[in-house]
């Protein structure tokens, strides 16, 4: 047990140092303190911006969080796109694809393996998908906004054009396809209203 604790301590400190170097090398704007367990995957295109607030916690390995289906957090920010993460945000094994705009407020918790996409990735028209130029030109994108105090359960998918209102909760394994008002609990595939939060 002692050696396991020692290994975790050493792993945490080494990966936190390298994680901060990796953020700096990728021109990520972040505010201290920041806590990184393992090294994420980051891809920022020309003119894109990734901004992270203070007290950010990011888990990128099974040794730091035994939630299952573990992977590294990954962030893709497209050309001239903006991914903004507020203060006191925590996530593990999360993947965010931001082609235009994704905004995550303060005091947000994203459960393990949450994915957020502000794009359809491909055209919804079959004839356009077989032509790379047409496919790329006709992809639909819309901002994703997650407001302050939101809690998203593990293994949830949040799709383009969605706003999740302040202090709302999304149940585990949900697929969020439409806006969720503040102070509500939603869940399912597709996610539906369950009840108000008192």
Radius of gyration of the chain (CA): 17
Looking at residue 39, its pLDDT comes to 86
| ω into 190 cis (within 30 of 0) | yes
Express each pLDDT in 110-166 by its tens digit: 999 999 999 999 988 888 888 888 888 889 999 999 999 999 999 999 999 999 999
Tokens of 41: 């995957």
Over residues 76-81, the mean pLDDT reads: 96
The answer to whether residues 87 and 55 touch, using CB atoms and an 8 Å cutoff, is yes
- Percent of the chain clearing pLDDT 90 (strictly above): 65
Exactly one of 8, 31, 69, 122 is catalytic; name it.
122
Over residues 11-36, the mean pLDDT reads: 80
The answer to whether residues 8 and 63 touch, using CB atoms and an 8 Å cutoff, is yes
SS3 14: helix
Tell me if residue 31 is catalytic.
no
| pLDDT band at residue 49 under the 50/70/90 scheme | very high
Half-sphere exposure of residue 63: CA atoms within 13 angstroms, side-chain side: 14
Please state the φ and ψ torsions of residue 32, each to the nearest 5 degrees.
-80, 155
Smallest CA-to-CA distance from 139 within 115, 158, 121 is with 121
Residue ranges per structural domain of the chain: 2-196
Over residues 175-194, the mean pLDDT reads: 98
At which residue do the structure tokens 């573990």 appear? 70
The region of weakest confidence among 25-39, 78-92, 138-152 is: 25-39
| ω into 33 cis (within 30 of 0) | yes
- Our CA angle for 131, 136, 141, nearest 5°, is 140
The region of weakest confidence among 35-39, 46-50, 76-80, 100-104 is: 35-39
Per CATH, domain 2-196 is 3.40.50.300: no
Looking at residue 179, its pLDDT comes to 98
Strand order in the sheet with 74-77: 41-44, 74-77, 95-98, 115-117, 157-158, 175-176
| Non-local CB neighbours of 96 within 8 Å, separated by 6+ positions | 74, 75, 76, 83, 102, 115, 116
């Amino acid at each position: 047990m002692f050696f396991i604790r020692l290994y975790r301590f050493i792993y945490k400190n080494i990966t936190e140092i390298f994680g901060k170097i990796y953020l700096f090398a990728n021109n990520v704007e972040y505010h201290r303190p920041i806590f990184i367990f393992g090294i994420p995957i980051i891809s920022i295109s020309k003119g894109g911006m990734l901004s992270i607030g203070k007290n950010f916690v990011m888990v990128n390995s099974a040794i730091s969080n035994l939630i299952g289906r573990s992977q590294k957090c990954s962030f893709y920010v497209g050309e001239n796109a903006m991914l903004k993460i507020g203060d006191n945000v925590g996530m593990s094994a999360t993947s965010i694809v931001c082609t235009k705009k994704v905004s995550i407020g303060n005091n947000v918790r994203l459960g393990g393996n949450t994915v957020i996409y502000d794009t359809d990735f491909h055209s919804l028209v079959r004839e356009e998908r077989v032509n790379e130029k047409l496919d790329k030109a006709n992809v639909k994108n819309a901002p994703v906004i997650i407001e302050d105090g939101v809690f998203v359960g593990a293994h949830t998918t949040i799709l383009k054009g969605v706003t999740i209102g302040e202090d709302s909760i999304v149940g585990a394994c949900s697929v969020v396809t439409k806006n969720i008002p503040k102070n509500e609990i939603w869940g399912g595939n597709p996610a539906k209203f369950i009840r108000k939060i008192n």
